[in-house]
Structure 1
Amino acid sequence: MFRRSAEFNGTANAYGNQTYAGNGATYQGYGAQQASTDPSTWSVGAPPTTPVSTAPMTIDSVVQKTGLTLLVVIAAAVATWLYIGDIQNGTTLADQTNAAQLSAALLIGSGGAFILSMVNSFKRVISPALVLAFAALEGVALGALSKFFDMYFGDGIVMQAVIGTFAAFAGTLATYKFFDIQVGNRFRTFVIAAMFGMVGLSLLEMVLGLFGMPIGLFGTGGMGLLFAAAGLVLGVFMLILDFDFVENGVRAGLPERESWRAAFALTVSLVWIYTNLLRILAIMRGD
Protein backbone atom coordinates (compact mmCIF):
# COMPACT_ATOMS: atom_id res chain seq x y z
CA MET A 1 0.00 0.00 0.00
CA PHE A 2 2.81 2.41 0.86
CA ARG A 3 4.30 1.88 -2.61
CA ARG A 4 1.17 3.47 -4.11
CA SER A 5 2.17 6.78 -2.55
CA ALA A 6 3.95 8.74 -5.29
CA GLU A 7 5.52 11.15 -2.83
CA PHE A 8 6.81 8.43 -0.51
CA ASN A 9 8.58 6.64 -3.35
CA GLY A 10 10.74 9.56 -4.41
CA THR A 11 8.74 11.33 -7.11
CA ALA A 12 8.84 14.42 -4.91
CA ASN A 13 11.34 15.42 -2.30
CA ALA A 14 10.99 17.30 0.94
CA TYR A 15 11.81 20.63 -0.71
CA GLY A 16 8.87 20.61 -3.10
CA ASN A 17 10.94 19.93 -6.23
CA GLN A 18 9.59 17.39 -8.66
CA THR A 19 12.00 14.58 -9.58
CA TYR A 20 11.92 12.36 -12.62
CA ALA A 21 13.27 8.86 -13.04
CA GLY A 22 16.24 8.35 -15.29
CA ASN A 23 18.69 11.12 -14.53
CA GLY A 24 17.80 12.08 -10.97
CA ALA A 25 17.62 15.78 -11.87
CA THR A 26 15.20 18.04 -10.05
CA TYR A 27 12.78 20.43 -11.63
CA GLN A 28 10.65 23.18 -10.18
CA GLY A 29 7.59 21.85 -8.43
CA TYR A 30 4.04 22.83 -9.12
CA GLY A 31 3.22 26.40 -8.31
CA ALA A 32 6.77 27.67 -8.86
CA GLN A 33 7.07 30.62 -11.27
CA GLN A 34 9.55 30.77 -14.09
CA ALA A 35 10.66 33.99 -15.77
CA SER A 36 9.45 34.35 -19.36
CA THR A 37 11.63 35.92 -22.04
CA ASP A 38 8.67 36.52 -24.38
CA PRO A 39 7.53 40.19 -24.03
CA SER A 40 4.03 39.27 -25.25
CA THR A 41 3.48 37.31 -22.04
CA TRP A 42 4.45 40.21 -19.78
CA SER A 43 1.69 42.02 -17.88
CA VAL A 44 1.68 45.43 -16.24
CA GLY A 45 0.03 46.06 -12.90
CA ALA A 46 -1.26 42.50 -12.48
CA PRO A 47 -1.10 41.23 -8.90
CA PRO A 48 1.45 38.48 -8.32
CA THR A 49 0.15 34.95 -8.28
CA THR A 50 0.47 33.26 -4.92
CA PRO A 51 1.31 29.57 -5.21
CA VAL A 52 -1.04 27.20 -3.47
CA SER A 53 0.72 25.59 -0.55
CA THR A 54 -0.09 22.16 0.85
CA ALA A 55 0.27 21.49 4.56
CA PRO A 56 2.79 18.76 5.28
CA MET A 57 2.09 15.52 7.04
CA THR A 58 2.88 15.70 10.77
CA ILE A 59 2.73 13.38 13.76
CA ASP A 60 -0.28 15.34 15.00
CA SER A 61 -2.13 14.91 11.70
CA VAL A 62 -1.45 11.15 11.73
CA VAL A 63 -2.67 10.88 15.34
CA GLN A 64 -5.83 12.86 14.53
CA LYS A 65 -6.69 10.84 11.42
CA THR A 66 -5.92 7.53 13.13
CA GLY A 67 -8.00 8.52 16.16
CA LEU A 68 -10.96 9.42 13.94
CA THR A 69 -10.66 6.18 11.98
CA LEU A 70 -10.51 4.06 15.13
CA LEU A 71 -13.44 6.01 16.59
CA VAL A 72 -15.54 5.03 13.56
CA VAL A 73 -14.47 1.38 13.97
CA ILE A 74 -15.40 1.37 17.66
CA ALA A 75 -18.70 3.17 17.12
CA ALA A 76 -19.76 0.76 14.36
CA ALA A 77 -18.68 -2.23 16.46
CA VAL A 78 -20.65 -1.05 19.51
CA ALA A 79 -23.75 -0.32 17.39
CA THR A 80 -23.56 -3.79 15.82
CA TRP A 81 -23.04 -5.42 19.21
CA LEU A 82 -26.12 -3.69 20.65
CA TYR A 83 -28.25 -4.36 17.56
CA ILE A 84 -27.63 -8.11 17.61
CA GLY A 85 -29.50 -9.78 20.44
CA ASP A 86 -28.14 -12.52 22.66
CA ILE A 87 -28.32 -16.17 21.65
CA GLN A 88 -29.30 -18.35 24.60
CA ASN A 89 -29.69 -21.95 23.44
CA GLY A 90 -30.20 -21.50 19.69
CA THR A 91 -33.58 -23.23 19.61
CA THR A 92 -36.04 -20.35 19.93
CA LEU A 93 -37.16 -18.16 17.06
CA ALA A 94 -35.50 -15.14 18.67
CA ASP A 95 -32.21 -17.02 18.95
CA GLN A 96 -32.38 -18.05 15.30
CA THR A 97 -33.12 -14.48 14.27
CA ASN A 98 -30.20 -13.15 16.29
CA ALA A 99 -27.89 -15.80 14.85
CA ALA A 100 -28.95 -14.83 11.34
CA GLN A 101 -28.27 -11.16 12.11
CA LEU A 102 -24.85 -12.03 13.49
CA SER A 103 -23.95 -14.06 10.40
CA ALA A 104 -25.19 -11.33 8.06
CA ALA A 105 -23.28 -8.59 9.89
CA LEU A 106 -20.10 -10.67 9.86
CA LEU A 107 -20.45 -11.52 6.16
CA ILE A 108 -21.39 -8.03 4.96
CA GLY A 109 -18.92 -6.25 7.21
CA SER A 110 -15.92 -8.44 6.48
CA GLY A 111 -16.69 -8.73 2.76
CA GLY A 112 -17.19 -4.99 2.32
CA ALA A 113 -14.13 -4.16 4.42
CA PHE A 114 -12.00 -6.54 2.35
CA ILE A 115 -13.12 -4.95 -0.92
CA LEU A 116 -12.49 -1.42 0.35
CA SER A 117 -9.12 -2.46 1.78
CA MET A 118 -8.08 -3.58 -1.70
CA VAL A 119 -9.36 -0.32 -3.21
CA ASN A 120 -7.54 1.78 -0.63
CA SER A 121 -4.36 -0.25 -1.05
CA PHE A 122 -4.17 0.25 -4.80
CA LYS A 123 -5.30 3.88 -5.02
CA ARG A 124 -2.47 6.29 -5.73
CA VAL A 125 -4.38 9.19 -4.17
CA ILE A 126 -5.79 8.11 -0.83
CA SER A 127 -9.48 8.89 -0.26
CA PRO A 128 -10.53 9.89 3.29
CA ALA A 129 -14.14 8.91 2.54
CA LEU A 130 -13.12 5.40 1.51
CA VAL A 131 -10.90 5.03 4.57
CA LEU A 132 -13.80 5.97 6.86
CA ALA A 133 -16.17 3.68 4.91
CA PHE A 134 -13.68 0.85 5.40
CA ALA A 135 -13.54 1.65 9.11
CA ALA A 136 -17.34 1.53 9.39
CA LEU A 137 -17.59 -1.86 7.66
CA GLU A 138 -14.66 -3.19 9.65
CA GLY A 139 -16.44 -2.09 12.81
CA VAL A 140 -19.57 -3.99 11.78
CA ALA A 141 -17.52 -7.16 11.24
CA LEU A 142 -15.63 -6.74 14.53
CA GLY A 143 -18.85 -6.06 16.43
CA ALA A 144 -20.36 -9.33 15.18
CA LEU A 145 -17.14 -11.29 15.71
CA SER A 146 -16.71 -9.93 19.23
CA LYS A 147 -20.34 -10.76 20.03
CA PHE A 148 -19.75 -14.33 18.89
CA PHE A 149 -16.64 -14.78 21.06
CA ASP A 150 -18.34 -13.15 24.04
CA MET A 151 -21.36 -15.46 23.80
CA TYR A 152 -19.34 -18.66 23.51
CA PHE A 153 -16.35 -17.88 25.74
CA GLY A 154 -17.43 -14.95 27.94
CA ASP A 155 -15.44 -13.99 31.05
CA GLY A 156 -14.37 -10.64 29.57
CA ILE A 157 -12.54 -12.15 26.59
CA VAL A 158 -13.37 -9.17 24.38
CA MET A 159 -12.12 -6.57 26.84
CA GLN A 160 -8.95 -8.59 27.41
CA ALA A 161 -8.32 -8.64 23.66
CA VAL A 162 -8.92 -4.88 23.40
CA ILE A 163 -6.52 -4.14 26.26
CA GLY A 164 -3.97 -6.53 24.80
CA THR A 165 -4.21 -4.87 21.39
CA PHE A 166 -3.47 -1.39 22.71
CA ALA A 167 -0.76 -2.81 24.97
CA ALA A 168 0.88 -4.38 21.91
CA PHE A 169 0.61 -1.04 20.10
CA ALA A 170 2.18 0.90 22.97
CA GLY A 171 4.90 -1.69 23.51
CA THR A 172 5.81 -1.82 19.82
CA LEU A 173 5.92 1.97 19.56
CA ALA A 174 8.12 2.24 22.66
CA THR A 175 10.47 -0.44 21.36
CA TYR A 176 10.63 1.20 17.94
CA LYS A 177 11.57 4.59 19.42
CA PHE A 178 13.81 3.59 22.33
CA PHE A 179 15.82 1.02 20.39
CA ASP A 180 15.83 3.13 17.21
CA ILE A 181 14.75 0.25 14.99
CA GLN A 182 15.77 0.72 11.36
CA VAL A 183 13.57 -0.94 8.74
CA GLY A 184 15.56 -2.38 5.87
CA ASN A 185 14.46 -3.83 2.55
CA ARG A 186 14.97 -7.41 3.75
CA PHE A 187 12.73 -6.92 6.76
CA ARG A 188 10.10 -5.16 4.67
CA THR A 189 10.16 -7.94 2.05
CA PHE A 190 9.94 -10.61 4.76
CA VAL A 191 6.88 -9.01 6.39
CA ILE A 192 5.07 -8.56 3.08
CA ALA A 193 5.84 -12.13 1.99
CA ALA A 194 4.73 -13.51 5.37
CA MET A 195 1.48 -11.53 5.21
CA PHE A 196 0.63 -12.84 1.74
CA GLY A 197 1.59 -16.33 2.92
CA MET A 198 -0.81 -16.17 5.86
CA VAL A 199 -3.60 -14.81 3.71
CA GLY A 200 -2.99 -17.61 1.19
CA LEU A 201 -3.04 -20.28 3.91
CA SER A 202 -6.25 -18.79 5.33
CA LEU A 203 -7.96 -18.96 1.94
CA LEU A 204 -6.73 -22.54 1.48
CA GLU A 205 -8.12 -23.46 4.90
CA MET A 206 -11.50 -21.97 3.96
CA VAL A 207 -11.65 -23.87 0.68
CA LEU A 208 -10.60 -27.17 2.29
CA GLY A 209 -13.12 -26.58 5.06
CA LEU A 210 -15.92 -26.43 2.49
CA PHE A 211 -14.97 -29.97 1.43
CA GLY A 212 -14.64 -31.23 4.99
CA MET A 213 -10.83 -31.42 4.93
CA PRO A 214 -9.60 -28.53 7.11
CA ILE A 215 -5.95 -28.34 8.10
CA GLY A 216 -6.79 -27.00 11.55
CA LEU A 217 -5.43 -23.47 11.17
CA PHE A 218 -8.67 -22.02 12.55
CA GLY A 219 -9.19 -24.77 15.10
CA THR A 220 -8.64 -24.81 18.84
CA GLY A 221 -5.77 -27.29 18.76
CA GLY A 222 -2.03 -26.83 18.61
CA MET A 223 -2.06 -25.93 14.92
CA GLY A 224 -4.65 -23.21 15.50
CA LEU A 225 -2.70 -21.77 18.44
CA LEU A 226 0.53 -21.74 16.43
CA PHE A 227 -1.15 -20.02 13.48
CA ALA A 228 -2.75 -17.38 15.72
CA ALA A 229 0.52 -16.72 17.54
CA ALA A 230 2.34 -16.33 14.22
CA GLY A 231 -0.39 -13.90 13.13
CA LEU A 232 0.08 -11.88 16.32
CA VAL A 233 3.83 -11.61 15.78
CA LEU A 234 3.26 -10.63 12.16
CA GLY A 235 0.83 -7.93 13.29
CA VAL A 236 3.56 -6.43 15.47
CA PHE A 237 5.93 -6.44 12.49
CA MET A 238 3.24 -4.70 10.44
CA LEU A 239 3.06 -1.98 13.09
CA ILE A 240 6.81 -1.46 12.76
CA LEU A 241 6.37 -0.91 9.00
CA ASP A 242 3.59 1.57 9.78
CA PHE A 243 5.78 3.52 12.20
CA ASP A 244 8.58 3.57 9.64
CA PHE A 245 6.23 4.99 6.99
CA VAL A 246 5.02 7.72 9.34
CA GLU A 247 8.52 8.68 10.46
CA ASN A 248 9.94 8.82 6.94
CA GLY A 249 6.83 10.54 5.62
CA VAL A 250 7.06 13.34 8.17
CA ARG A 251 10.79 13.70 7.50
CA ALA A 252 10.19 13.91 3.74
CA GLY A 253 7.39 16.47 4.10
CA LEU A 254 4.66 14.40 2.47
CA PRO A 255 1.30 16.12 1.90
CA GLU A 256 -1.13 15.98 4.80
CA ARG A 257 -3.48 13.69 2.87
CA GLU A 258 -0.92 10.91 3.33
CA SER A 259 -1.89 10.94 7.01
CA TRP A 260 -5.02 9.07 5.92
CA ARG A 261 -2.85 6.38 4.33
CA ALA A 262 -1.00 5.98 7.61
CA ALA A 263 -4.30 5.90 9.54
CA PHE A 264 -5.63 3.19 7.24
CA ALA A 265 -2.47 1.09 7.65
CA LEU A 266 -2.44 1.43 11.43
CA THR A 267 -6.12 0.46 11.62
CA VAL A 268 -5.52 -2.67 9.54
CA SER A 269 -2.59 -3.68 11.75
CA LEU A 270 -4.53 -3.14 14.97
CA VAL A 271 -7.52 -5.13 13.69
CA TRP A 272 -5.14 -7.91 12.64
CA ILE A 273 -3.63 -8.01 16.15
CA TYR A 274 -7.05 -7.89 17.85
CA THR A 275 -8.53 -10.81 15.92
CA ASN A 276 -5.49 -13.00 16.56
CA LEU A 277 -5.54 -12.11 20.25
CA LEU A 278 -9.21 -13.14 20.41
CA ARG A 279 -8.34 -16.53 18.94
CA ILE A 280 -5.38 -17.05 21.26
CA LEU A 281 -7.44 -16.21 24.35
CA ALA A 282 -10.24 -18.55 23.22
CA ILE A 283 -7.82 -21.43 22.59
CA MET A 284 -6.06 -20.88 25.91
CA ARG A 285 -9.38 -21.37 27.70
CA GLY A 286 -9.44 -24.86 26.28
CA ASP A 287 -13.10 -24.95 25.28
Structure 2
Amino acid sequence: MSTTTATALGFIYPDHAAEDDYPLAERLLREAGTDVTLRVEHIYGTDLHAVPELLDLGSPDKLAHGASLLASSHPAAVIWACTSGSFVYGTGGAPGQVEGLAEAAGTAASSTSYAFVHAAQSLGITKVAVAASYPDDVARLFVEFLAAAGIEVVRMSSAGIDTAAEVGTLAPDQVLDLATSNDHADAQALLIPDTAMHTIGGLPRLESTLGKPVLTANQVTIWEALRLAGITAVQPALGTLFQERPHHDDVRS
Protein backbone atom coordinates (compact mmCIF):
# COMPACT_ATOMS: atom_id res chain seq x y z
CA MET A 1 0.00 0.00 0.00
CA SER A 2 1.51 3.31 -1.07
CA THR A 3 1.29 6.48 0.94
CA THR A 4 1.78 10.09 -0.06
CA THR A 5 3.26 12.89 1.96
CA ALA A 6 1.77 16.35 1.82
CA THR A 7 4.00 19.05 0.37
CA ALA A 8 5.09 21.44 3.11
CA LEU A 9 5.05 25.17 2.42
CA GLY A 10 6.66 27.52 4.91
CA PHE A 11 5.56 30.96 6.05
CA ILE A 12 7.44 33.37 8.31
CA TYR A 13 4.74 35.43 9.99
CA PRO A 14 5.38 38.54 12.09
CA ASP A 15 4.02 38.52 15.65
CA HIS A 16 0.34 37.43 15.93
CA ALA A 17 -2.78 38.81 14.25
CA ALA A 18 -4.41 36.78 11.46
CA GLU A 19 -2.26 33.64 11.28
CA ASP A 20 -5.42 31.53 11.62
CA ASP A 21 -6.06 32.38 7.95
CA TYR A 22 -3.46 29.73 7.11
CA PRO A 23 -5.06 26.62 8.66
CA LEU A 24 -8.35 27.75 7.13
CA ALA A 25 -6.74 28.00 3.71
CA GLU A 26 -5.04 24.64 4.20
CA ARG A 27 -8.41 23.03 4.93
CA LEU A 28 -9.97 24.61 1.84
CA LEU A 29 -7.07 23.52 -0.35
CA ARG A 30 -7.23 19.96 0.96
CA GLU A 31 -10.99 19.84 0.38
CA ALA A 32 -10.25 20.74 -3.26
CA GLY A 33 -7.66 17.96 -3.56
CA THR A 34 -4.42 19.92 -3.03
CA ASP A 35 -2.35 17.96 -0.53
CA VAL A 36 -0.30 20.61 1.22
CA THR A 37 0.68 21.58 4.73
CA LEU A 38 0.92 25.30 5.41
CA ARG A 39 3.48 25.64 8.20
CA VAL A 40 3.59 29.01 9.96
CA GLU A 41 6.43 30.11 12.23
CA HIS A 42 6.61 33.48 13.98
CA ILE A 43 9.25 36.13 14.36
CA TYR A 44 8.81 39.07 16.66
CA GLY A 45 9.36 42.79 16.76
CA THR A 46 7.47 45.99 17.37
CA ASP A 47 4.27 45.70 15.33
CA LEU A 48 4.03 49.40 14.48
CA HIS A 49 3.28 50.27 10.86
CA ALA A 50 6.25 52.62 10.77
CA VAL A 51 9.27 52.50 8.47
CA PRO A 52 12.09 51.97 11.02
CA GLU A 53 10.20 49.21 12.81
CA LEU A 54 9.28 47.53 9.54
CA LEU A 55 12.88 47.60 8.32
CA ASP A 56 13.92 45.88 11.55
CA LEU A 57 11.12 43.32 11.29
CA GLY A 58 12.24 42.24 7.83
CA SER A 59 15.96 42.25 8.63
CA PRO A 60 18.21 39.39 7.49
CA ASP A 61 18.79 38.10 11.01
CA LYS A 62 15.09 37.88 11.81
CA LEU A 63 14.24 36.17 8.52
CA ALA A 64 17.13 33.72 8.92
CA HIS A 65 15.78 32.84 12.35
CA GLY A 66 12.33 32.27 10.84
CA ALA A 67 13.85 30.04 8.18
CA SER A 68 15.62 27.99 10.86
CA LEU A 69 12.29 27.40 12.62
CA LEU A 70 10.85 26.00 9.39
CA ALA A 71 13.82 23.82 8.50
CA SER A 72 12.55 20.62 10.12
CA SER A 73 9.53 20.52 7.79
CA HIS A 74 11.71 20.75 4.65
CA PRO A 75 9.39 23.22 2.89
CA ALA A 76 9.25 23.33 -0.90
CA ALA A 77 9.05 27.13 -0.65
CA VAL A 78 9.34 29.74 2.09
CA ILE A 79 7.54 33.09 2.05
CA TRP A 80 8.11 36.17 4.21
CA ALA A 81 4.43 36.68 5.03
CA CYS A 82 4.53 40.41 5.56
CA THR A 83 3.67 43.01 2.94
CA SER A 84 4.85 46.16 4.65
CA GLY A 85 7.98 44.44 5.98
CA SER A 86 8.99 43.68 2.39
CA PHE A 87 7.86 46.63 0.24
CA VAL A 88 9.39 49.04 2.76
CA TYR A 89 12.76 47.87 1.44
CA GLY A 90 11.85 49.24 -1.99
CA THR A 91 12.96 47.92 -5.34
CA GLY A 92 16.57 48.43 -4.28
CA GLY A 93 16.38 46.23 -1.20
CA ALA A 94 13.44 43.85 -1.65
CA PRO A 95 15.23 41.54 -4.14
CA GLY A 96 18.14 41.12 -1.75
CA GLN A 97 15.75 40.40 1.09
CA VAL A 98 14.26 37.50 -0.88
CA GLU A 99 17.65 36.26 -2.03
CA GLY A 100 18.90 36.25 1.54
CA LEU A 101 15.83 34.35 2.69
CA ALA A 102 16.25 31.75 -0.07
CA GLU A 103 19.88 31.24 0.96
CA ALA A 104 18.96 30.91 4.63
CA ALA A 105 16.07 28.55 3.91
CA GLY A 106 17.85 26.51 1.26
CA THR A 107 14.78 26.58 -0.96
CA ALA A 108 12.77 28.88 -3.20
CA ALA A 109 11.62 32.02 -1.41
CA SER A 110 9.58 35.16 -1.91
CA SER A 111 7.65 37.79 0.04
CA THR A 112 4.07 38.99 0.15
CA SER A 113 4.94 42.15 -1.77
CA TYR A 114 6.26 40.11 -4.69
CA ALA A 115 3.29 37.78 -4.33
CA PHE A 116 0.98 40.71 -5.07
CA VAL A 117 2.98 41.59 -8.17
CA HIS A 118 3.06 38.02 -9.46
CA ALA A 119 -0.63 37.43 -8.72
CA ALA A 120 -1.62 40.57 -10.63
CA GLN A 121 0.59 39.55 -13.55
CA SER A 122 -0.96 36.08 -13.62
CA LEU A 123 -4.43 37.64 -13.94
CA GLY A 124 -3.31 40.17 -16.56
CA ILE A 125 -4.09 43.04 -14.19
CA THR A 126 -2.34 46.37 -14.69
CA LYS A 127 -4.69 48.85 -12.94
CA VAL A 128 -5.69 48.40 -9.31
CA ALA A 129 -7.20 50.11 -6.31
CA VAL A 130 -5.46 49.68 -2.96
CA ALA A 131 -7.38 49.58 0.32
CA ALA A 132 -4.58 49.75 2.86
CA SER A 133 -4.82 49.52 6.62
CA TYR A 134 -1.51 51.36 7.07
CA PRO A 135 -0.80 55.01 7.74
CA ASP A 136 -0.53 57.06 4.55
CA ASP A 137 3.27 57.28 4.38
CA VAL A 138 3.63 53.50 4.56
CA ALA A 139 0.79 52.85 2.11
CA ARG A 140 2.44 55.11 -0.46
CA LEU A 141 5.54 52.92 -0.41
CA PHE A 142 3.37 50.01 -1.56
CA VAL A 143 2.04 52.16 -4.42
CA GLU A 144 5.64 52.89 -5.46
CA PHE A 145 6.52 49.19 -5.28
CA LEU A 146 3.61 48.27 -7.54
CA ALA A 147 4.39 51.09 -9.96
CA ALA A 148 7.94 49.81 -10.38
CA ALA A 149 6.42 46.50 -11.54
CA GLY A 150 4.16 48.23 -14.08
CA ILE A 151 1.00 48.13 -11.97
CA GLU A 152 -0.87 51.44 -11.87
CA VAL A 153 -2.74 52.34 -8.70
CA VAL A 154 -5.80 54.34 -9.75
CA ARG A 155 -6.96 54.83 -6.15
CA MET A 156 -5.12 54.42 -2.87
CA SER A 157 -6.68 54.75 0.56
CA SER A 158 -5.06 54.40 3.97
CA ALA A 159 -7.04 53.55 7.08
CA GLY A 160 -4.25 54.88 9.28
CA ILE A 161 -4.17 51.91 11.67
CA ASP A 162 -0.93 52.02 13.61
CA THR A 163 -0.45 48.39 14.66
CA ALA A 164 -0.89 44.95 13.17
CA ALA A 165 -2.61 43.76 16.34
CA GLU A 166 -5.40 46.28 15.81
CA VAL A 167 -5.79 45.25 12.17
CA GLY A 168 -6.23 41.66 13.31
CA THR A 169 -9.34 42.62 15.28
CA LEU A 170 -11.26 43.92 12.24
CA ALA A 171 -14.52 42.03 11.75
CA PRO A 172 -15.62 40.73 8.33
CA ASP A 173 -18.12 43.58 7.91
CA GLN A 174 -15.37 46.10 8.62
CA VAL A 175 -13.11 44.50 6.02
CA LEU A 176 -15.96 44.56 3.51
CA ASP A 177 -16.62 48.22 4.26
CA LEU A 178 -12.94 49.02 3.77
CA ALA A 179 -13.06 47.30 0.39
CA THR A 180 -16.30 48.77 -0.91
CA SER A 181 -15.44 52.28 0.27
CA ASN A 182 -12.12 52.33 -1.53
CA ASP A 183 -12.69 50.61 -4.87
CA HIS A 184 -12.52 52.50 -8.16
CA ALA A 185 -14.41 51.93 -11.40
CA ASP A 186 -11.18 51.90 -13.44
CA ALA A 187 -9.51 49.31 -11.21
CA GLN A 188 -9.38 45.79 -12.60
CA ALA A 189 -8.89 44.45 -9.08
CA LEU A 190 -8.82 45.62 -5.48
CA LEU A 191 -5.72 44.91 -3.40
CA ILE A 192 -5.83 44.64 0.41
CA PRO A 193 -2.18 44.47 1.49
CA ASP A 194 -1.91 43.44 5.13
CA THR A 195 -1.26 39.89 6.36
CA ALA A 196 -2.52 41.03 9.78
CA MET A 197 -6.05 41.26 8.35
CA HIS A 198 -8.38 38.24 8.31
CA THR A 199 -9.55 37.85 4.71
CA ILE A 200 -9.42 34.16 3.70
CA GLY A 201 -12.93 33.40 4.93
CA GLY A 202 -14.44 36.46 3.26
CA LEU A 203 -13.07 36.29 -0.28
CA PRO A 204 -16.24 35.09 -2.05
CA ARG A 205 -18.29 37.83 -0.37
CA LEU A 206 -15.71 40.49 -1.19
CA GLU A 207 -15.53 39.53 -4.86
CA SER A 208 -19.28 39.13 -5.33
CA THR A 209 -19.90 42.53 -3.75
CA LEU A 210 -17.26 44.35 -5.80
CA GLY A 211 -17.81 42.36 -8.99
CA LYS A 212 -14.07 41.99 -9.63
CA PRO A 213 -11.03 40.09 -8.35
CA VAL A 214 -9.89 40.92 -4.84
CA LEU A 215 -6.29 40.14 -3.93
CA THR A 216 -5.53 39.98 -0.22
CA ALA A 217 -2.23 39.56 1.56
CA ASN A 218 -2.62 36.08 3.04
CA GLN A 219 -4.33 34.83 -0.11
CA VAL A 220 -1.53 35.91 -2.48
CA THR A 221 1.12 34.75 0.00
CA ILE A 222 -0.27 31.22 -0.07
CA TRP A 223 -0.67 31.33 -3.85
CA GLU A 224 2.95 32.44 -4.24
CA ALA A 225 4.20 29.52 -2.16
CA LEU A 226 2.18 27.11 -4.28
CA ARG A 227 3.53 28.74 -7.46
CA LEU A 228 7.13 28.42 -6.34
CA ALA A 229 6.51 24.78 -5.42
CA GLY A 230 5.09 24.13 -8.89
CA ILE A 231 1.60 23.38 -7.58
CA THR A 232 -1.50 24.66 -9.36
CA ALA A 233 -4.40 24.72 -6.92
CA VAL A 234 -8.02 25.32 -7.86
CA GLN A 235 -10.31 26.38 -5.04
CA PRO A 236 -12.91 29.07 -5.94
CA ALA A 237 -13.54 29.68 -2.24
CA LEU A 238 -10.12 31.38 -2.27
CA GLY A 239 -11.14 33.85 -4.96
CA THR A 240 -10.52 34.48 -8.65
CA LEU A 241 -6.80 33.91 -8.15
CA PHE A 242 -7.55 30.26 -7.39
CA GLN A 243 -10.02 29.63 -10.20
CA GLU A 244 -9.07 27.34 -13.04
CA ARG A 245 -7.42 29.18 -15.93
CA PRO A 246 -4.36 28.87 -18.20
CA HIS A 247 -0.95 28.40 -16.62
CA HIS A 248 0.86 31.46 -15.27
CA ASP A 249 3.36 31.83 -18.12
CA ASP A 250 3.25 35.62 -17.85
CA VAL A 251 4.52 35.73 -14.28
CA ARG A 252 7.99 37.29 -14.18
CA SER A 253 10.00 35.94 -11.26
Using CA pairs under 8 Å that are at least 6 residues apart, name the structure with larger relative contact order, 1 or 2: 1
Structure richer in strand, relative to its length: 2
Which bin holds the TM-score, normalised by the shorter protein? Answer: under 0.3
Higher fraction of helix: 1
**TM-score normalized by structure 2?**
0.25
Greater Rg over alpha carbons, structure: 1
Q: TM (normalized to structure 1)? A: 0.23
